[in-house]
Amino acid sequence: MPVPLLWSARLGRELLAKEDAKVERAKRRAKVHRCYQYDRLESYQEYTSSGRRRLESLEAAMRYLFAKGGVKLGYMQKRLVDVVIIAMLHKMFGADLVSNLKYLHKKYLIDELNDTVAIIFPRRSGKTEGSAIMIALIAVSQPHGNCIMYNLTATQAKEFLASVIKHLDVFKDSEEFGWTEVKRDVRQLIEIRARKYDTCNSVKSYPSALKGDAKIDWSDCEGPCRRRQRQRNCRGTKRLTAATLTHSPTT
């Protein structure tokens, strides 16, 4: 039996009204927690670039060391670590550096990048320990993370390497950043196979003097008052030019 035209039209309106009511109820139930405005969404290649993975790996290793090793950085040590990481961005990102400049500028608030830095650090501010922490992080979290450190004397070189090994031992049982020892010379180097990228990474610590103690005269880098005081204290002794190495005579 055919449905009258009037009934079919009324039935259609009722169905549409029910659908509209369902849509309105769904809108009322939905809650917008936060709105974002994007000028430009990152591409998949930028988001998954090898540089970002290496940077995230370094940050994850740092969090692990802080949590498991009980390491805490002072103010000057934090600045040292930040400067070293920024200097490493060239090597981390490589060809992907240009496409990630906006991301890096937002993350580190930097206007320029350099792959080499010179740092004048105050005495007794933790520069040796901060450097040892940074080298340990690079060794366990970066592919081919090889590091070389030059010290004034052989004793300092040995002590610095021992400090690096102390921080490396924290990672030894880590599922992500674990490592196995390949070669060790407690006086100069340690070579490990890092689990993260399955590469052999080496840490070497050498003395800068061939024999005896090495001394550097930084008098020309000091202020005039400090320089005059040092000259009065050293009156009658041979003065050295700035940043020259001398060896003590051997018997």
Question: What percentage of the chain exceeds 70 in pLDDT?
Answer: 69
Is it the case that residue 13 has pLDDT exceeding 80?
no
Q: Which amino acid is at 92?
A: M
Contact 82, 108 (CB under 8 A): yes
- Tens of pLDDT, residue by residue over 20-36, are 787 777 767 666 555 55
CA distances from 227 to 230, 243, 248 (A): 5, 15, 23
- Tens of pLDDT, residue by residue over 118-154, are 888 888 888 899 999 999 999 999 998 999 998 888 8
SS3 251: coil
Distance, CA of 21 to CA of 207 (rounded, Å): 80
Helix (H) or strand (E) holding 26: helix 5-29
Residue boundaries of the structural domains of the chain: 46-207, 215-246
